[in-house]
């Protein structure tokens, strides 16, 4: 083979590799095709999982027996029903889609020209996308284990105890656990901020929404984010307390946070309000799945390019 032929073959091979990457970038920029299906399917699965937790928490608040549970516990509860298997399969697919969407988003997200491409804020956003992707990859794995009959019965709080105990045994483990608790509190405060400012609406294609959809979707978003704020802040406080007291049994998960509310004074009312908020968050996720602008290209850039 001549040098010219070798060069042409190399170019063709490079184009064959770059074409799928370019196509993927185009789909992400436009928020269309498989990229949009991953995002919207994942948001639906996210909403359904929070809805199940909310329904189970309502039952606890109404004193119908049982204990508050996490999303992993809710998935375990589904496995007890014949119809639950089908829903678990769909949820596993949705969780996997959400995880892949967040991973792709971390690498495909674009900023406004001349903006924050290389700033700490930009890298922080990407780290957040990867973190959410890892959470939902874990939920996918958990759901698959339950479907295969090896999910186990360990609660999220029990898992938090073991993880915290392991971390406290590391050099500087107390600091690691304490910082983790502060980060979780930060997530709670961020949800509070998003709720009261309705910042989540910035991502919506509001021109496609009717007035009732935007009004009720916004109300559900506010109530849902405030409920998440309560839950995450509680989790963070008790994780930080585990570091301060050097006691891993202080750490709690989502199920532990809801149970703390149930065991408090006026517990049924507090838990009932939080459960209603989680149900509102589930509704918000469904609205978000329908109307969210999932494109990675900034709106301002698209407007300039189209002009």
- Whole-number pLDDT of residue 27: 73
- Whole-number pLDDT of residue 79: 87
- Whole-number pLDDT of residue 111: 62
| C-alpha to C-alpha distance for 98 and 231, rounded to whole angstroms | 22
> Nearest to residue 214, comparing CAs of 198, 230, 229, 225?
198
The length of the chain in residues reads: 307
> Nearest to residue 239, comparing CAs of 157, 294, 148?
157
Whether 260 has a pLDDT exceeding 70, the answer reads yes
Whether 165 has a pLDDT exceeding 50, the answer reads yes
Tens-place pLDDT, residues 5-54: 555 554 554 444 456 667 666 777 778 889 999 999 999 999 999 999 99
Tokens of 203: 């991502």
Contacts of 185 (CB under 8 A, 6+ apart): 232, 233, 236, 237, 240
Name beta bridge partners: 240. Answer: none
Tens-place pLDDT, residues 63-100: 755 678 888 889 988 888 888 999 999 999 999 999 99
pLDDT band at 302 (very low <50, low <70, confident <90, very high): low
- Whole-number pLDDT of residue 21: 64
pLDDT band at 307 (very low <50, low <70, confident <90, very high): very low
Whether 59 has a pLDDT exceeding 70, the answer reads yes
| C-alpha to C-alpha distance for 62 and 56, rounded to whole angstroms | 10
More confidently predicted of 159 and 195: 195
| C-alpha to C-alpha distance for 221 and 225, rounded to whole angstroms | 6
Domain residue ranges of the chain, discontinuous segments joined by +: 10-301
Tens-place pLDDT, residues 113-136: 545 445 666 788 889 999 999 999
Tens-place pLDDT, residues 272-290: 999 999 999 999 999 999 9
Q: How far is CA 234 from CA 61, 70, 108, 138, 197, in A?
A: 18, 14, 34, 22, 21
Rounded mean pLDDT of 178-183?
97
- Whole-number pLDDT of residue 123: 82
Whether 292 has a pLDDT exceeding 90, the answer reads yes
- Whole-number pLDDT of residue 52: 95
- Whole-number pLDDT of residue 304: 43
Task: Tell me phi and psi for residue 204, to 5 degrees.
Answer: -85, 145
Rounded mean pLDDT of 167-192?
96
More confidently predicted of 181 and 68: 181
The pTM for the full model equals 0.86
Q: Which of 151-155, 189-193, 255-259 has the lowest mean pLDDT?
A: 151-155
CB 236 within 8 A of CB 183: yes
Per-residue buried b or exposed e for 122-132, using 16+ beta carbons within 10 Å of the residue's own CB: eeebbeebbeb
Could you give the percent of the chain with pLDDT greater than 70? Answer: 82
Whether 2 has a pLDDT exceeding 60, the answer reads no
């Amino acid at each position: 083979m001549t040098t010219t032929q070798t060069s042409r073959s190399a170019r063709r091979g490079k184009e064959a590799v770059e074409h799928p990457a370019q196509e993927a970038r185009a789909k992400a920029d436009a928020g269309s095709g498989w990229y949009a299906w991953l995002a919207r399917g994942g948001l639906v699965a996210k909403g359904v999982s929070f809805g199940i937790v909310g329904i189970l928490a309502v039952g606890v608040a109404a004193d119908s027996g049982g204990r508050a549970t996490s999303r992993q516990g809710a998935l375990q509860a589904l496995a007890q029903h014949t119809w639950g298997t089908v829903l678990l399969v769909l949820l596993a697919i949705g969780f996997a889609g959400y995880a892949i969407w967040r991973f792709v988003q971390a690498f495909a997200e674009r900023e406004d020209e001349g903006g924050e491409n290389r700033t700490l804020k930009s890298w922080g956003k990407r780290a957040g996308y990867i973190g959410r992707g890892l959470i939902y990859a874990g939920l996918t794995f958990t759901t698959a284990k339950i479907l295969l009959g090896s999910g186990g019965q360990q609660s999220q709080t029990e898992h938090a105890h073991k993880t915290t105990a392991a971390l406290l045994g590391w050099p500087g483990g107390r600091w690691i656990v304490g910082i983790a608790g502060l980060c979780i509190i930060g997530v709670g405060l961020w949800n509070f901020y998003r709720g009261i400012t309705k910042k989540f609406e910035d991502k919506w294609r509001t021109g496609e929404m009717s007035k009732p959809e935007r009004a009720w979707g916004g109300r559900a978003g506010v109530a849902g984010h405030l409920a998440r704020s309560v839950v995450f802040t509680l989790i963070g406080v008790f994780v930080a307390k585990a570091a301060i007291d050097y006691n891993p049994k202080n750490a709690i998960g989502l199920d532990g946070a809801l149970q703390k509310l149930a065991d408090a004074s006026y517990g049924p009312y507090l838990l009932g309000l939080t459960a209603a908020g989680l149900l509102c968050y589930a509704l918000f996720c469904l609205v978000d799945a329908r109307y969210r602008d999932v494109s990675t290209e900034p709106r301002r850039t698209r407007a300039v390019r189209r002009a």
